[in-house]
Amino acid sequence: MAKKTKTSSSLDKLPVNTHIAGAGLVEDQHITDTLETNFMPYAMSVIMSRAIPEIDGFKPSHRKLLYTMYKKGLLNGPRTKSANIVGETMKLNPHGDSAIYETMVYLSRGYSALLHPYVDSKGNFGRQYSTDMEYAASRYTEAKLESFATELFRDIDKDTVDFVDNYDSTMKEPTLLPVTFPSVLVNNNLGIAVGMASNICSFNLREICETTIALMKDPDHDVSSTLLAPDFPGGGRIVYQRDSMEKIYETGRGSVKIRSVWSYDKSANCIDITEIPYTTTVESIISKLVDLVKSGKIREISDVRNEIGLDGLKITIDLKRGVDPDRLMTRLYSMTPLEDSFSCNFNVLIAGVPRVLGVRELLNEWTAFRTECVRRRVYYDLSKARDKLHLLKGLEKILLDIDKAIKIVRQTEEEREVVPNLMIGFGIDEIQAEYVAEIKLRHLNREYILKRTNEIDDLQKNIIDMEDILKSPSRVKSIIIDELRDVSKKYGKPRNSELIYASDIDEYTKIEEEVPDYPCTLFFAAEGYFKKITPQSLRMSNAHKLKEGDSITQTIETTNNRDLLFFTDKATVYKAKVSDFPDTKASVMGEYAAAKLGFDEGENSKYMVVTSDYSGYMIFLFENGKAAKIELSAYATKTNRRKLIGAYSDKSPLVAVVYLPEDRELLLTSSSGRMLLVHTGALSVKSTRSTIGVQAMTLKARHRLIKAEIYTDDMLAKPNRYRTKKLPAAGAMPAVEDIGEQLTLD
């Protein structure tokens, strides 16, 4: 047998009485301090540096990728392997190659997620509308920048935006891109931060440019007159409602309803769906259709196929013979993601602060940002022009005597004295003299110098013009407007998403399947068993089979197409149809309502109501002597809800439930033996189902209401003895003639 060896740790080697500092101590720390020192910096980092887009329309990951591609010369050059771009981008974005590549996929033309893609892709980049079509690895695909991306980087090298160090301070990157159009609203953008999110829909480029120009000319311009509605890459039909659209434009929040585009192929008897809402996928639509067919809720479909191919998206729905495609699609819109909503949340970082802005405010913020970019560009060009003019004026003085300049250079013994001697000889400053000294020997001729000095007049005019631009906000505004018009003309295209007006849509209203209507008698037992028996069957046998000790409590003659309401002892009502229950015979026990309708454990039926129009009243009587009168219509619902909680008050135990088509008298009996006739017309109707009601019968201490029933003329010999003009009332002890089964004492 192998000998076991005992392993020892460093703690085993310590002496028995060794004291470890801080061991076993518990340090109290306020949760507010923990949040402030640990959680809040993380949350702010996610909000500021990861999830929320800025006014240029980009999140940091987008901006870093696009700027890397720009610096690699991929704006005009050939495509390169995506893996190369991902590797270069890691110099700015250290979050891993997979995250960077996913960002590239999202921005690409192949993925089809953007209205105006920024990345010209080659290879399999997947599809936004399909979860099964995954993109290929970065080593297999190629990419470059789209020509449209030119508008992102125009004049970026002219100090139009600020640059900061990257994460290891080895290179610079822009804090924003000097976009020449409001890209923040032209392409979709989704971001989920800590405690907040952003979900910006895309708008048509032409409409955005036109709206921005109109707002710059007139701050009170009606945005909805030029910006019709969002425009999505996948098309679809937008259900246009001006009120809801104006709410989005004003607040930056709201939802846009999008419908799929379909056509009917009569020869093949099938529906072809070619455009779906941006918010869903082909797989989720097909899955929902299959579930509906399997559950029997949709019976008109024989097959569903995913036929995505080279021509793009296509879902084919084969129909059974005789199906109306228009009616079916109306139903499918209401039951599947073929109609879906895009929830707008225009949350954007403005000067480092997240703000939810409407379209007008967003465009105004972009205009302010772009104005600053243009001013910085003009100031940069002005500085360069002034420097050049200064040099040319020095060169102009050399023109007066070129031979003198050559002589000064030749006769100067030391190189360091050349510039000072030129300064003295021609009365120019050091910068001008340095420029003259660096002129090549071949350029020291009158023709070259004359050509250069002829530029002085043009430069002076340009400088005056640029100075005027910086002084004139209207001229800056004109430059921005001209650039917007140029972008709209070059890259604008017709809308993808067609508009349809909500008023023109036939909304689906569920048509109940035709239920055969015939007379029947319903029997409800105290133990909760239910029977539906036809008159013919009842004539053959009316001897009921019941559970031992059970009895029939309700017998109602009605028809097969009525509604049923079962009130339980848990203040709940369950709804069903008479037709939900099969016809049966008196000789069987019937169906157990609790099992049929899915009662909660330990829940029992108290009362059954049959109705078709929900007219009449429900009267609930409680042990504390209170009575609640509620219109039966309070239990009618527009949807097919099967369970309603809070059907009545549970503050006091329920004694009886009564349904009355119209007001009549009830006979109440207390545990003291007193009886009271109450006319329900004296009870006020309550609008809340869970109301505690009003006091109907006053009770002495330790007594309670024990019985309530609908009064009939043969029940009491002296009914006036128990009637009262006012409620509540104590009632009266029964007369000798009325003592009998009416009196029940505990």
- Which sequence positions are flagged as catalytic? 140
Length of the chain, in residues: 746
What Cα–Cα distance (Å) separates residue 514 from each residue in 9, 332, 517, 559, 641?
Answer: 81, 20, 9, 14, 20
- The one-character DSSP state at 697 is B
Residue from 465, 487, 467 nearest 370 by CA: 487
Distance, in Å, from the CA atom of 133 to the CA atom of 115, rounded to the nearest integer, reads 20
Distance, in Å, from the CA atom of 689 to the CA atom of 262, rounded to the nearest integer, reads 45
Residue from 356, 347, 183, 344 nearest 248 by CA: 344
Which helix or strand (DSSP H or E) is residue 419 part of? Answer: helix 418-426
- Which three-class secondary structure string do you get for 140-183? CCEEEECHHHHHHHCCCCCCCCCEEECCCCCCEEECCCCCCCCH
Distance, in Å, from the CA atom of 625 to the CA atom of 674, rounded to the nearest integer, reads 12
Separation of CA 697 from chain center: 54
Q: Which residues of 41-65 are buried (b: 16+ CB within 10 A; e: fewer)?
A: eeeeebbbeebbbbbbbbbbbbbbb
Distance, in Å, from the CA atom of 362 to the CA atom of 74, rounded to the nearest integer, reads 30
DSSP characters over 702-745: T--EEEEEE--TTS-S-GGGGB-SSSSB--BPPPGGG-STT---
Distance, in Å, from the CA atom of 624 to the CA atom of 153, rounded to the nearest integer, reads 79
Which helix or strand (DSSP H or E) is residue 490 part of? Answer: helix 473-491
Q: Provide the 10 A C-beta neighbour count for residue 192.
A: 12
DSSP characters over 18-84: ---TTTT------HHHHIIIIIHHHHHHHIIIIIS-BTTS--HHHHHHHHHHHHTTTTTS--EEHHH
- Which three-class secondary structure string do you get for 297-323? CCCCEEEEEECCECCECCEEEEECCCC
What Cα–Cα distance (Å) separates residue 42 from each residue in 30, 37, 165, 481, 598?
Answer: 18, 9, 21, 40, 47
Distance, in Å, from the CA atom of 439 to the CA atom of 416, rounded to the nearest integer, reads 16
- Which three-class secondary structure string do you get for 550-596? CCEEEEEEEECCCEEEEEECCCEEEEEEHHHCCCCCCCCCCEEHHHH
> Coil, strand, or helix at residue 343?
strand
Distance, in Å, from the CA atom of 229 to the CA atom of 498, rounded to the nearest integer, reads 9
In contact, 79 and 144? CB cutoff 8 Å? yes
Q: Which residues pair with 627 in a beta bridge?
A: 621, 694
Which pair of tokens denotes residue 545?
């089979």
**76 CB contacts (<8 Å, ≥6 apart)?**
none
Distance, in Å, from the CA atom of 711 to the CA atom of 702, rounded to the nearest integer, reads 26
Distance, in Å, from the CA atom of 576 to the CA atom of 642, rounded to the nearest integer, reads 7
Distance, in Å, from the CA atom of 410 to the CA atom of 393, rounded to the nearest integer, reads 23
Helix axes 446-453, 359-399, angle to 10 degrees: 150
Residue from 484, 490, 481, 464 nearest 378 by CA: 464
Distance, in Å, from the CA atom of 382 to the CA atom of 714, rounded to the nearest integer, reads 109
Q: Provide the 10 A C-beta neighbour count for residue 300.
A: 17
